[in-house]
Chains A and B, each alone.
Chain A
Amino acid sequence: MSTQHRQEAGATPALVSDRERIAELEARLAEAEDTLNAIRNGEIDALVIGGGSERTIYTLETADRPYRLLIEQMREGAVTMSAAGTVLYANQTLADMLHIPAQQLVASRMERFVHTDDIANFHSIATIGGRTELRLCPTNGQEVPVQFAVSRIDTDDEPLACAVVTDLSEARRHAEELSDARARLAAEAASRASDERYRLILESATDYAIIATDLDQCVTIWNVGARNILGWKEEDIIGKPAPMIWTPEDREAGVPEWEMSTALAEGRAEDERWHLRCDGMRFWANGLLMPLRGDDGALIGYLKMLRDRTDQRKAEQARIAFNEQLERRVADRTAELAAANNRLQVEMAEREKAQDQLRQAQKIEAIGHLTGGVAHDFNNLLAAIMGSLELVQRRLGDEIDPKVKRMLGGAMQATERGASLTKRLLAFARRQDLHSSAVDVAALIVGMGDLIERSIGPMVVVTVDMPELQPARADAHQLELAILNVIVNARDAMPHGGKLHIAGRTEDIADEVPELAPGKYIVVSLADVGGGMSEATLKRATEPFFTTKGVGKGTGLGLSMVFGLMAQLQGRMVLLNHPGTGLTVELWMQVADVMLLPSLASNSASGGHHIAGRVLFVDDDPLVRETTTAMLEDLGHTVTVAASGEEALAILTEGDEFDLLVTDHAMPGITGSQLATTLQALRPELPVLLATGFADLPESLGPSIPRLAKPFKREALARAVENALSGVAPTNAIPLGRSRT
């Protein structure tokens, strides 16, 4: 065209203008033709129709196809509804959503598929447009949540509503999944935090071994405490079998399995036992096994907790050992104390007994002293009375008035009884003047037969079982008296008759028996069948003057005299009491250690052979001096009197000759025995006769000095003096061991 412009440069302006106009018109014509052709050829998609102020765009069928395809293929449902709600168009997706063929859907009412509760909402949104969520009710009955987005199209004739329907099911599901995922994530995070906390707890428990295993007993958790206590590092033990921490013998015995079964049955298994360290060393541990369960409760393994208690066990064992030792020591000490206490009790009992015995001995000693003293003076009195009475009898001769003679006889009898009483007192006091000799006890008892029968009376049967016995050391006369005393007691114990059994035997005492020296003993037992003694009576049986007999029936000196006699003979009286059934009295006497000597009594001088002699008589008692002097002179002797030992010695030193010295023993100053001893050195040829009221003579005094027991009768005095003068050994001068007599 530019070429055309240049060619017409020379033309007039009007012409130019016209030509330009023509060209313009031609161009516009060509343009119009092009447009028409394009429309005709279908090269356009849409036509724009002007109608008043509004223009409507008409999309050509072909041009609309991509939209239709788009709408048909999109995942959302699409629907076009009339103002009355009739479906004019719906895509396949909506038909599928509603489970109805698309052809049936078109021309049906949309609200038919809307949930009853959402119909109002649907109408509102369909009228004004906008979007809302609804529930659709497909023909299969399964509700579908949807988003309903409505666009209103206001056409000339009738407004239309186009809606896009989005199935929210999946979105909801996704939302739910998302929510779940978020929750899981949160839970996982929490769980991780929790796991972390647990891990921290596990790791901070350095004193506790915390071990988890799976069902195959392989280690899955191994904390720091486990490493500390057991030695294995976590990386070395994870996945390894856990039973290696048990001792071989425990593994052999099935302890791990037992613990697992217990843990399963009871929820926990606790024990204390040895476990093994990595280095093979053993340690004592307190263990707890628990089953591990998953969230669903299924068993996934076991949890084992261990605490090393080796030191505590050592301490505990040491404590137990210490306690045991302590208890043992306490027990030992208690036993010692008990033993000591027992010993003490025994000692106390013994001491009490000894004290009793001592008291008894002291009592008897005191009584002995008293009795001895009394007896001495009493005997002096009796001696004077007896001597005087005899002298009176002799002086009066046959011319005596029978009455006076009877009275004299009575006086003499009383004097003799007095003498007898003092003798018994002395016997009890063990101070009697014993004439100990070797006595054939069996013969003595047999010889006493008549006496016994008479004493015991006809009501009591006496049996004697007397074997041959060795001679006993005793005073035959006093022993007879003692036996008679016992027999009288037996008779009194059996007032209605009974039996008395007299037996003899020999006993050999080897070891020490209280109050008896070892050696052989002759025992005479006298057993009655009376009532025996009560405890109280038994206790006082040997006390002097204690009697159970009525007033005037007993002296209370019987058993005490027997007791004293036996003691003085170094034997013993034993009472075997059977209350209610009888009493046995045993007399224990030492076997005599010398042969039985023939009695010399028969050799004593008789009255027919008077030897007159010069006698020095010593006595501090003037009464006795006078009587005895009278009796000696009556016997034909020449008597010189001295009132003391000193006086006697003075007389003897003066040179007077005497044939015999008769002296009292107990005197102030020089005693009789001291005088005799002095004279043995001074005048050994001078015989000495010791007149004594009791046996309290010193040991030093030789037994060879003849004695005369006060009180004495004239006859006894005559015999003793004659024997002394003629040099005959006295009957009581038998040397007997340790005899004090």
Chain B
Amino acid sequence: MISDGGGRYVLRLYVTGSTGRSLRAIDNITRIANAHLANNHDLTIIDIYVEPEAARDDQIIAAPTLLRVAPLPRRRILGDLSDEARVLSGLEIDTDAAS
């Protein structure tokens, strides 16, 4: 997998309205992405109530779910994304390179 200097991160966060975890997840991924991916990312927040088709296409089974669309392979992380290390590892972001 090419992770350095390569492709842009495309992230989708599936939430269920304004439930507690969803709200926290939005808050957390926004902060993490800004910290580690700077401008090198596109983050889309998708409410599965509003866009159930998107959830189906992305085979979302629970919410909140953060989906890494690119770079491939796709990766998904469930929960409120409060464990930053786990989020970074799940998204395969090289913290050393980034820092």
Specify the chain A residue showing the minimal Cβ separation from B52.
A55
Note all chain B residues with C-beta closer than 8 A to A67: 17, 19
Which B residues from 44 to 87 make CB contacts under 8 A with A? 48-49, 52, 55-56, 60-65, 73, 75-80
Chosen A-B contacts, 12 in total, with CB atoms closer than 8 Å, are A24-B73, A34-B78, A38-B79, A43-B21, A43-B79, A45-B15, A45-B63, A48-B48, A48-B63, A55-B52, A64-B19, A66-B19
Most chain A Cβ neighbours within 10 Å, of B17, B18, B76: B17
Instruction: Report which residue of A27, A48, A57, A65 has the largest number of chain B beta carbons within 10 angstroms of its beta carbon.
Output: A48
Chain B CB within 8 A of A104 CB: no
- State the Cβ distance, A132 to closest chain B Cβ, in Å: 25
B7 contacts A by Cβ under 8 Å: no
Best-buried of A5, A45, A48, A67 by chain B (most CB within 10 Å): A45
Task: Mark each residue of chain A from 207 to 231: 1 if its CB lies under 8 Å from any CB of chain B, else 0.
Answer: 0000000000000000000000000
Instruction: Kindly state the separation between the CA atoms of A63 and B78 in the bound complex, as whole angstroms.
Output: 14
A1 to B75 alpha-carbon distance, docked (Å)? 15
Contact B63 A44, beta carbon cutoff 8 Å: yes
Chain A proximity of B74: nearest CB distance (Å):
9
A282 CB to nearest chain B CB (Å): 86
Q: Is the CB–CB distance between A46 and B19 below 8 Å?
A: yes
Q: What's the Cα separation between A65 and B18 when bound, in Å?
A: 11
**Which B residues are closer than 8 A to A by beta carbons?**
1, 3, 15-22, 48-49, 52, 55-56, 60-65, 73, 75-80, 90, 92
Whether A35 contacts B61 by the Cβ 8 Å rule is yes
B61 touches A47 (CB 8 A): yes
Contact between A63 and B3 (Cβ–Cβ < 8 Å)?
A: no
A397 at interface, CB cutoff 8 A: no
In the complex, chain B residues whose CB is within 8 Å of the CB of A39: 62, 78
Given the complex of chains A and B, what is the CA–CA distance between A67 and B22 in angstroms? Answer: 13
- Which residues from B are CB-within-8-Å of A31? 75-76, 90
In the assembly, what is the distance between CA of A39 and CA of B22, in Å?
A: 14
Q: Establish whether residues B21 and A45, one from each chain, have CB atoms under 8 Å apart when the complex forms.
A: yes
Q: Is A50 located at the chain interface by the 8 A CB criterion? A: yes
- Contacting residue for A27 out of B17, B55, B73, B78, CB 8 A: B73
- Inter-chain contact B21/A57, CB cutoff 8 Å: no
**Residue from the list A2, A27, A46, A47 in contact with B75, Cβ < 8 A:** A27
Chain B proximity mask over A695-730: 1 for CB below 8 Å, otherwise 0: 000000000000000000000000000000000000
A66 to B15, CA, bound (A): 14
CB–CB A35/B20 < 8 A = no
Asked if A38 meets B56 with Cβ closer than 8 Å, knowing A45-B16, A48-B48, the reply is no
Do B62 and A46 touch across chains, with their CB atoms under 8 A apart?
A: yes
Bound Cα distance from A2 to B76, whole angstroms: 20
How many angstroms from the CA of A67 to the CA of B17 in the assembled complex?
9
A1: chain B residues at CB < 8 Å are 1, 92
What CA separation (Å) do A121 and B64 show in the bound complex?
41
CA distance A50 to B59 in the complex (A): 9
State which of B15, B22, B76 has its C-beta within 8 Å of the C-beta of A35: B76
Return chain B residues, CB-CB under 8 Å to A35. 61-62, 76, 78
Q: Which of A5, A38, A43, A57 contacts B52 (CB 8 A)?
A: A57
Of chain A, the residue at the smallest CB distance from B16 is A46
Residues of B within 8 A of A62 (CB): 20
Chain B CB within 8 A of A59 CB:
yes
Q: Is the CB of A38 within 8 A of B62?
A: yes
Alpha-carbon distance between A44 and B18 when the two chains are bound, in angstroms = 13
Is B56 touching A55 in the complex (CB atoms < 8 A)?
yes
Q: Of B55, B64, B65, B79, which one neighbours A55 at CB under 8 angstroms?
A: B55
Which A residues lie at the B interface, using CB under 8 A?
Answer: 1-2, 5, 24, 27, 31, 34-35, 38-39, 41, 43-48, 50, 55, 57, 59, 62-67
Q: A39-B78, A48-B62 are in contact. List 17 more A-B contacts (CB 8 A).
A: A1-B1, A2-B3, A24-B73, A34-B78, A35-B78, A41-B79, A44-B62, A44-B78, A45-B16, A45-B64, A48-B48, A48-B56, A50-B56, A55-B52, A55-B56, A66-B20, A67-B19
Please classify the interface of chain A as helix (H, G, I), strand (E, B), loop, or mixed, using the class held by over half of its residues.
helix
Q: Which chain B residues border A65 with CB–CB below 8 Å?
A: 20
Q: Which 4 A-B pairs have the closest CB atoms?
A: A43-B79, A38-B78, A45-B19, A44-B62
Residues of A within 8 A of B65 (CB): 44
Q: How many Å lie between the Cα of A66 and that of B24 in the bound state? A: 13
Q: How far is the CA of A177 from the CA of B76 in the complex (A)?
A: 55
Question: How near does chain A come to B77, taking the closest CB pair, in angstroms?
Answer: 7
* B90 contact set on A, CB distance < 8 A: 31, 34
Assembled-state Cα–Cα distance A55/B19 (Å): 19
* Across-interface contacts of B62 in A (CB, < 8 A): 35, 38-39, 44, 46-48
A63 surroundings in chain B (CB, below 8 A): 16, 19-21
A43–B21 CA distance with the chains assembled, in angstroms? 7
Q: Are B73 and A48 in contact (CB under 8 A)?
A: no
* A160 to B82 alpha-carbon distance, docked (Å): 37
CA distance A45 to B49 in the complex (A): 12
Residue of A nearest to B4 (CB): A2
Interface-central residue, A2, A27, A43, A64, by most chain B CB under 10 Å: A43
Q: How far is the CB of A320 from chain B (nearest CB, A)?
A: 98
The residue on A at minimum CB distance from B62 is: A44
Least CB distance from B50 to A in Å reads 11
Tell me the bound Cα distance from A35 to B80 in angstroms. Answer: 12
Whole-angstrom distance between the Cβ of A170 and the nearest chain B Cβ: 26
Chain B residues lying within 8 Å of A44, measured Cβ to Cβ, are 21, 62-65, 78-79
**B82 nearest CB across to chain A (Å):** 9
Most buried by A among B48, B62, B63: B62
Least distance between B34 CB and chain A CB atoms (Å): 22
Expressed in whole angstroms, the minimum distance between the Cβ of A20 and any Cβ of chain B is 10
Min CB distance, A354 to chain B, in Å? 146
CB-contact partner of B55 in A45, A48, A59, under 8 A: A48
Q: How far is B72's CA from A27's CA once the two chains are assembled, in angstroms?
A: 12
In whole angstroms, what is the CA distance A335 to B15 when docked? Answer: 128
Which residues from B are CB-within-8-Å of A59?
16, 19
Q: How long is the Cα–Cα vector from A57 to B52 in the complex, in angstroms?
A: 9
Considering the complex, give the chain B residue whose CB is closest to the CB of A46: B16
- A63 and B24 alpha carbons, distance in the complex (Å): 12
Do B49 and A57 touch across chains, with their CB atoms under 8 A apart?
Answer: yes
B63 touches A43 (CB 8 A): no
User: Which chain A positions have C-beta within 8 A of B18?
Assistant: 66
Chain B residues near A2 (CB-CB < 8 A): 1, 3
How far in angstroms is the closest Cβ of chain B from A151?
12
Interface pair A43/B78, CB less than 8 Å apart? yes
Shortest Cβ distance from residue A42 to the other chain B in the assembled complex, whole angstroms: 9
CB distance from A451 to the nearest CB of B (A): 177
Name, among A1, A44, A63, A65, the residue most crowded by chain B CB atoms within 10 Å (CB to CB): A44
A34-B90, A63-B19, A63-B20 known; A46+B78 contact, CB < 8 A: no
Contacts of A45 in B (CB 8 A): 15-16, 19-22, 63-64
Q: Which residue of A lies closest to B55 (CB)?
A: A48
A55 to B55, CA, bound (A): 9
Q: How far is the CB of A7 from chain B (nearest CB, A)?
A: 15
User: Which B residues lie within 8 Å of A41 (CB)?
Assistant: 79
B33 to chain A, nearest CB (A): 19
Q: How far is the CB of A217 from chain B (nearest CB, A)?
A: 70
Contacts of B56 in A (CB 8 A): 48, 50, 55
